[in-house]
Structures are given as C-alpha cells and as structure tokens.
Amino acid sequence: MPNLPEVRGLTSVFTFAMVISRSWAICERTGPTILHGPHQGAQKSASTHSSLFVVTSKSVSPVSTTLPIIPPNPIDCLSSYQHVCFWFGQIEWIEYQHHFLMNMEITPSILTADFCSLGETIDAAVDAGIGWLHMDVMDGNWVINRTITFGPALIKSVRERVGNEIFIDCHLMITNAEETWEQYANAGVDMVIAHIEAVNDFPKLISELHTSGVQSGCVLNPDTPVDGVLSFLPDLDLVLVMSVVPGKGGQSFIPEVGEKVRVLREAIDSQIENGGRETKLMIDGGIKDHNAALVADWGVDIAVVGSGLINNQATVRENLDSITKSLEI
Ligand code: DX5
Ligand code: ZN
C-alpha cells in the first residue's frame, strides 16, 4: 500500500484512490501515490463536499466531472468498484471524481497533410489545443524508401505562422545531422532530434546544440538497442523511440518497442529522482486512438501522431478529441 503521510494530518475522513487499473499502473510505474492538499490529494470539507484527486509523480490531471455517492454503507460502495486499490479511515461521504486524463501530450506529424493547405491544417491543430509540432525531415537518402519530405525553408514558414508560443522539434532522418543542424536551429526549431544510428559523436552534437540554445533529442529505430543512449541520457532533453521504421506516415505500430520504452522510463525516472535532467520520453509511429492509452501506460510523455490526427475521415480537432478521450481513465 502506498505511503500516505500527508493524509494522516487531515481532520476528517477518507479515503480511497486509484480507481481504475490504469491508474494503478501509473502508480506502480511512478512510485507511491501522494495525497495532500486541496488540489493535490484527497480532502473533505465540512459540508457535503469532498473530492478525491489522485496524483502521482507524473501528475494525473483531474477533469471537472464529479459523481456524488451517498453510500448507506461505504464499504459496500467501495467494494462495488472493481479497481479500488486501497482505502483507509472512516468514510462518511465520498464524491468520486471519476475522470482523469493520462498525462501524455500529443504532437502532430504533418506527413499526411495536403501541403497546399498546410498553413490551415497547422492552424486547425493549434486551435484544437496542440502546443507542440513535430517536423519530419527526410533527405532522400537516409530512410529506407529514399524519400524527401521538406527542409529548413518550410520549417521557417511554419515558425513564422505559429509564432513563438508553439514548441517545434525537427526529427532529422538524414545522413548529415552533425553538419546541418544549424540550418534547422536558424529556421526556428526549439529542439533537434537526431538518429543515434546516423550520428558519429552524439555527446558533441548535444553540446553544440545546447551552446546554441537548442534542445537536444536522440531517436532510436525500432531495432536499435537502448544501451547506446544510456551513457548520454543525462544530457538529453528528449529521447524518442520509433514505433515504425522511419520513412512514411500511416504504418502499423510495432508493439515490441514497449520493452525499450519501459527501460528508458525507468532510467529517466531514476535520473529525475537523483536530481538529474527531466528528459522527455517520446514515441513516434502508428499511434492512434486505439493504442494511445497503451503507450501512455508505458510512461510516454509525448506521442507523435500523424495519420491518426491528419486524415480525410475527420477534422484534426475531432481526431484529437477521440485520442484525448481514449486517455481518460
Ligand atoms: C516516420 C515519421 C513519423 C510518422 C508518424 O518516419 O517519423 O513521424 O510519419 O506518422 P503516423 O502516425 O501516421 O505513423
Ligand atoms: Zn517523426
């Protein structure tokens, strides 16, 4: 059972928590749940109002819906919830805040956009609440299908269109990131993500990026073992696990990368616990509303979504809504 020191100080009543198994998975991954204070824990007021917030170290965000429960027998009430994992104290009254969002950000890849109306598509994404854009750069050489997407000129136009509030990364699927990253920095990206398989001296690249005020990311192909990145993980702002072979949008998700994601999650969590950098964990390829919750469970901070967000079936907002809904627990 998680350790709940703060709750012992509350004068009245409580509590139960971890209502759905996915919440428990988050708890298990991120360590003990801490309940405290009016907005970050469980508290009961003098009146009929009480609320329950479950907070883990990854800060699950509660949303506004509340479901009041007036149990004649609180224990019965609790046992009617299959996923309640613990409770203690004398329970008099519970309002169960039953919707929580798994804390994973979504960033669009624009590869499936109609480039003639790219500006409008990006506006629609920003209007729908997107705060991070993922720009997939391919040079006609490095990816297996030898395709070309776009380069710094288009990224510069996107930056000018969205202003400085939106975070932009560029995912460089190119042979010479070490020689050309500065062009992307000058185009206005906040972060350069380069492939570990395509860079000779990654620590040097990180240091050059940081000197220029650009964040550094390292990406691993689905078959690339995780070991190579661990030595410089403390200096990375982001590590990206590819869940498709780089080259195009719309491919099928490779679930076997889950093990690698878990190893990285643990390494990053222990790095953060020891006062180190809060390196972000990203996944890219084949993410849609049917598997977004799965990768959020693995501990991914940011998921790149291309064809699941920009397609002919629905608007960006509708697609984003359905992904967000899939992250409700
Ligand atoms: C693959 C790219 C991805 C990809 C995402 O080479 O890096 O960003 O296009 O698109 P979906 O979500 O359609 O797999
Ligand atoms: Zn990408």
Q: In this structure, what CATH number is given to the domain that contains residue 268?
A: 3.20.20.70
Range of the domain at 252: 105-326
- Give a yes or no: residue 2 inside a domain: no
Peptide bond into 315 cis (omega under 30): no
- Give a yes or no: residue 252 inside a domain: yes
Q: Which of 46, 68, 102 is the last residue of a domain?
A: 102
- Give a yes or no: residue 256 inside a domain: yes
- Give a yes or no: residue 1 inside a domain: no
Q: Give the pLDDT confidence of 165-182 residue by residue, as tens digits.
A: 999 999 999 999 999 999
Which two structure tokens, joined as six digits, stand for 157? Answer: 């136009």
Q: Mark whether 122 and 90 lie in a shared domain.
A: no
Task: Judge if the beta carbon of residue 172 lies within 6 A of ligand 1.
Answer: no
- Give a yes or no: residue 47 inside a domain: yes
Q: Mark whether 225 and 322 lie in a shared domain.
A: yes
Q: Mark whether 269 and 208 lie in a shared domain.
A: yes
Residue with tokens 């009480």: 50
Residue 328: which pLDDT band, with cuts at 50, 70 and 90?
confident
Q: Mark whether 60 and 71 lie in a shared domain.
A: yes
Q: Mark whether 114 and 96 lie in a shared domain.
A: no
Inter-axis angle of helices 152-162 and 177-187, nearest 10: 30
Task: Judge if the beta carbon of residue 43 lies within 6 A of ligand 1.
Answer: no
Query: What does each C-alpha distance from 185 to 159, 170, 192 come to in angstroms?
Result: 11, 9, 8
Q: Which of 102, 127, 156 is the last residue of a domain?
A: 102
Task: Judge if the beta carbon of residue 297 lies within 6 A of ligand 1.
Answer: no
Query: What does each C-alpha distance from 95 to 2, 9, 85 come to in angstroms?
Result: 21, 20, 17
Q: Mark whether 86 and 119 lie in a shared domain.
A: no
Q: Mark whether 177 and 260 lie in a shared domain.
A: yes
Q: Mark whether 309 and 191 lie in a shared domain.
A: yes
Q: Give the pLDDT confidence of 116-169 residue by residue, as tens digits.
A: 999 999 999 999 999 999 999 999 999 999 999 999 999 999 999 999 999 999
Average pLDDT of the segment spanning 59-87: 33
- pLDDT, the chain, mean: 78
Contact 56/27 with Cβ under 8 angstroms?
yes
Catalytic residues: 136, 284
Higher pLDDT, 45 or 283: 283
Task: Judge if the beta carbon of residue 246 lies within 6 A of ligand 1.
Answer: yes
Distance 204 CA to ligand 2 centre (A): 22
Average pLDDT of the segment spanning 37-54: 29
Q: Which residues contact 34 (CB under 8 A, 6 or more apart)?
A: 2, 4, 6, 40, 41, 55, 56, 57
* pLDDT at position 26 over 80: no
Between 64-68, 105-109, 294-298, the lowest mean confidence (pLDDT) is in 64-68
Distance 249 CA to ligand 1 centre (A): 4
Inter-axis angle of helices 118-127 and 152-162, nearest 10: 40
- Give a yes or no: residue 114 inside a domain: yes
Distance 206 CA to ligand 2 centre (A): 19
Query: What does each C-alpha distance from 184 to 84, 172, 216 come to in angstroms?
Result: 49, 9, 12
Task: Judge if the beta carbon of residue 108 lies within 6 A of ligand 1.
Answer: no
Higher pLDDT, 156 or 73: 156
- Give a yes or no: residue 243 inside a domain: yes
Between 42-46, 58-62, 143-147, 320-324, the lowest mean confidence (pLDDT) is in 42-46
* pLDDT at position 74 over 90: no
Between 42-51, 96-105, 206-215, the lowest mean confidence (pLDDT) is in 42-51
Q: Mark whether 88 and 115 lie in a shared domain.
A: no
DSSP string, 89-109: S----EEE---EE---EEEEB
Contact 111/306 with Cβ under 8 angstroms?
yes
Three-class HEC string of 146-157: CCECCCHHHHHH
Q: Which of 60, 85, 102 is the last residue of a domain?
A: 102
Q: Tell me how far the alpha carbon of residue 80 is from its chain's centroid.
A: 32
Residue 100: which pLDDT band, with cuts at 50, 70 and 90?
low
Helix, strand or coil for residue 252?
coil
Task: Say how far apart CA 240 and CA 303 lie, in whole Å.
Answer: 9
Task: Say how far apart CA 121 and CA 8 lie, in whole Å.
Answer: 51
Of 106, 109, 169, the one to substitute when testing ligand 1's pocket (max ligand atoms within 8 A of C-beta) is 109
Q: Give the pLDDT confidence of 243-279 residue by residue, as tens digits.
A: 999 999 999 999 999 999 999 999 999 999 999 999 9
Task: Report the domain count for the chain.
Answer: 2
Which range has the top average pLDDT, 80-84, 101-105, 231-235? 231-235
Ligand found nearest the CA of 295:
1
Q: Mark whether 125 and 163 lie in a shared domain.
A: yes
The radius of gyration of the chain from alpha carbons, rounded to an integer in Å, stands at 22
- Give a yes or no: residue 86 inside a domain: yes
Helix, strand or coil for residue 316?
helix
Q: Mark whether 139 and 53 lie in a shared domain.
A: no
Q: Mark whether 192 and 164 lie in a shared domain.
A: yes
Query: What does each C-alpha distance from 8 to 4, 14, 45, 51, 95 come to in angstroms?
Result: 7, 9, 15, 16, 19
Which two structure tokens, joined as six digits, stand for 44? Answer: 């009961």
Which two structure tokens, joined as six digits, stand for 83? Answer: 């996923």
* pLDDT at position 7 over 90: no
pLDDT of residue 232: 98
